[in-house]
Amino acid sequence: MKPKRIILIRHGESEGNVDKTIYSIKPDYTLTLTDTGIQQAQETGQKLSEILKDESTFFYVSPFWRTRMTFEEIAKSLDSDKIDWREEPRIREQEWGHLRSTQINNQINEDRDSYGTFYFRIPDGESGADVYDRVSDFLNTVYRDFEKPSFPENVIIVSHGMTIRLFLMRWFHWTVEHFETIANLKNCEIITLIRQDDNKYELDEELNTHSVYHQYQRPINFKK
C-alpha cells in the first residue's frame, strides 16, 4: 500500500554545523546533536504528532549518530505502537573521506562549487553522483516495501541535506542542472510528498533555491 505521505527530515543542528574544526578530530559519522539540535528534533516530533495523529508510520533513518539522535528525540512525541523504523546505511551523508582540517575542507568546498556539486568527487570520498546511485538502490527497497498490504500509512526519512536533495532528484527525475539549483534543507526542516488521486506524489511546498557557482551551462538544442 502506497503511503499517503513521504516526509523528509534533515537532522537537527550538529557539532559540525557549529564548529567546522571538529572534522579534523572526529569522524563525520560520530558527530552528535547540539543542545539546539536536540530541541529542534523535539519540536519536530511535536509537529509530526499533530500531522500524523493516530496514523501508522515507518521511519528510514541514516546510521550517523546525529540522524539517529534526531529520530530518537522525534519518537518521544509519537505513539510507540504506531511507529516502526529501520537503520538504512544507503541514505547516509555524502562521504568526505578521512579526518580533514578546516582549511582542506574549505578548499574542497571551493573546488566542488567551481566544478559542479553533482560530478565532483571528494578525495577519498564520494561525488553527488555516487550518492545518487545508492539512493537509487534504496528506492528499489522502498518500492518493494510499498507493495506490502500492511505497510504503514506514512513514511519518514531522516537523513542529510545532500542526500535528501538527491532523493528528490531521483524521485522526480530532475536534471543535474535543476538539482544544483536546489538548496539544502535547514536543520530539522520538514518537506512532504503527498499522494494524489492518481497515486503520484507532489511536494506540499516549493523548495528553496540557491546560486550555482560554476560557469558551465549546457547548450540547449532540443525542445519537446
Q: Give me the active site residues, please.
A: 11, 93
Identify the DSSP state of 212: -
Q: Which three cell numbers stand for residue 83?
A: 511507529
Note the Cα 53 to chain centre separation in Å. 24
> Which bin fits 53, alpha (ψ -120 to 50), beta or left (φ > 0)?
left
Q: Quickly count: other Cβ atoms within 10 Å of residue 167's Cβ.
A: 23
Identify the DSSP state of 118: T
HSE (side-chain half, CA atoms, 13 Å) at 7: 25
Spatial neighbors of 87 by CB under 8 A, at least 6 apart, are: 61, 62, 63, 68
Q: CA 44 to CA 12: how far, in whole Å?
A: 9
Note the Cα 139 to chain centre separation in Å. 13
Q: Which three cell numbers stand for residue 69?
A: 539522535
